[in-house]
Structure 1
Amino acid sequence: MNQTIELLCRHTSIRKFTDKPIETEQLNAILVAAQAASTSSFLQASSIIRITDSNKRAELVKLSGNQPWVGEAAEFFVWCADFHRHQQIAPDAKLGFTEQLLIGAVDTALMAQNALTAAESLGLGGVFIGGLRNSPNEVVELLNLPQQVLPLFGMCLGHPAQQPSIRPRLPQSLVVHENSYAEELDGDQLAQYDAKVRDYYTHRAGADKIMSWSDQITAILAKESRPYMQSFVQSQGFATK
């Protein structure tokens, strides 16, 4: 492997940060790297809201489910799918199609992953914050987001004050299919992976939960997952057709 691949494989989510700020030069480099990501049809259908207002940051802590690192990280960004910019350029643009929601979500995720990888290459760390979707209407109001701008997730960035162990990923045999989808799940491979995940949780600092991956996804998928999202997405002008 080379240094780039090694960096990618060392990724962990950082939720504890020092109080050291990110240098302006570093921040600019991270954002340049973000904008260098692939973009569908060169639409560049994303915007980033950098939160520097302490009151707004404190409110976003609450709206994200009281995640303290949202307020403690040196930087916090809200990543948005954005076709409002396009609408201003082309007032007669045909918007609202579900395909545009997918384009905006994919473009934005690619940008954000580029940003996090760039940050990690500089010795920084971060974590994605999907909890913003707990209160999406309140996020829209707080950040004054117009129609055709959809807040997808947040991101904390800063200097790490912890070194979490790397969570084991699924074996490639359960993820990579060749030529067609293999519908039958390999039970032996899954059992081995479940044992590995259980062992990881058992020995992880804090050990706040001990379960297999199958246990975890069963618990998560047994409950509703933000059932209001469809109406919210449509209220912002996305996926109306």
Structure 2
Amino acid sequence: MNETINLQRNHRSIRKFEDKSLSKEQIKTIVESAQSASTSSFIQAYSIIGVTDYEKKEKLAQLAGNQSYVARNGHFFLFCADFFRHELIGEMEGKNVQASLESTEKFMVALIDTALAAQNAALAAESMGLGICYIGGIRNHLEEVCELLKIPSRVLPLFGLAVGYPEKMTDKKPRLPYEHVYHENEYEQNEEEYRNQLETYNKIISNYYAERTNGERKDTWTSQMANMLEKHTRMSMKEFVDMKGFNRR
């Protein structure tokens, strides 16, 4: 394996960072790496907000579900789907772009572009010996996040990325089996085989938690997912997305 593949395969989320800020050069390198990601039709439908104000970071931590590492890290990046500049482009060029910007297709493009950029940023940070943690909790209270960071219409905050110097390295969490994820030529739909693979993975995950917690935790992956999916969380997201000018058509 080469260095890049080893880096990718050794990823783990870091939730405890040293009290040390990233340098301006590190931040610029991470953002420029994000910008080097693939982008559909060169549309570049995202923006990144770096949050350095400690009071704002503390507020974001609270809004994200009291996750302390949102405030205590080397730098906090907020990744946003962004068509604000594209609306201006329509005005500059005298073109009616509203229907396109509000389409489900362009909504998907913006989400994918943002995710690709963020993963480039994450890999760049990890290649520098930094740790990262994606923060989906910022979607808990998006109106307050937008107000706090003065985010306009046509810009949709998707997730945060906490980056910093790891204070403690966590164990690598086992992923689903290769055979369960990779399909060749057609989608494998053998439910019995699927269930067997999931049962095997459940044992792996249960053992992983038991080893980390000295037997205090032994839950399985399928129980985690079922419990999580049974809860109705962020069910007003469609209305918020529409209000921001996305996915209306």
The reply to whether residue 210 of structure 1 matches residue 218 of structure 2 is: yes
The reply to whether residue 93 of structure 1 matches residue 97 of structure 2 is: yes
Q: Specify the alignment match of 1:220 in structure 2.
A: 228
Q: Specify the alignment match of 1:107 in structure 2.
A: 113
Cα-Cα RMSD: 1.3
Q: How does 1:4-153 map to 2 (within 5 A)?
A: 4-91=4-91, 92-94=96-98, 95-153=101-159
State the identity %. Answer: 45
> TM-score when scaled to structure 2?
0.93
Runs in 1 of length 4+ with deviation above 4 angstroms?
205-208
Offset at residue 213 of structure 1 (A): 0.7
Residue 20 of structure 2 contacts residue 73 of structure 2 at CA under 8 Å; is this kept in 1?
no
Measure, in 1, the Cα distance between the counterparts of 2:215 and 2:133: 20
One-letter identity of the residue aligned with 1:197: I
Give the SS at the match of 1:32. helix
Change in Cα spacing, 1:121 to 1:205, as seen in structure 2 (3 Å) is farther
Give the paired residue count: 241
Deviation by residue 1:146-179 (Cα, 9 ceiling, x = unmatched): 1110000011000000111000000111111112
One-letter identity of the residue aligned with 1:230: K
Q: Specify the alignment match of 2:186 in structure 1.
A: 180
Q: Specify the alignment match of 2:168 in structure 1.
A: 162
Give the SS at the match of 2:106. helix
Give the SS at the match of 1:135. helix
> TM-score when scaled to structure 1?
0.96
Change in Cα spacing, 1:17 to 1:80, as seen in structure 2 (3 Å) is same
Change in Cα spacing, 1:170 to 1:62, as seen in structure 2 (3 Å) is same
Offset at residue 24 of structure 1 (A): 2.1
Deviation by residue 1:86-137 (Cα, 9 ceiling, x = unmatched): 1111132132111111111110011111101100000001100000000011
One-letter identity of the residue aligned with 2:106: Q
Structure with the larger helix share: 2
Q: Specify the alignment match of 1:195 in structure 2.
A: 203
Q: Specify the alignment match of 2:244 in structure 1.
A: 236
Give the SS at the match of 2:71. helix
One-letter identity of the residue aligned with 1:33: S
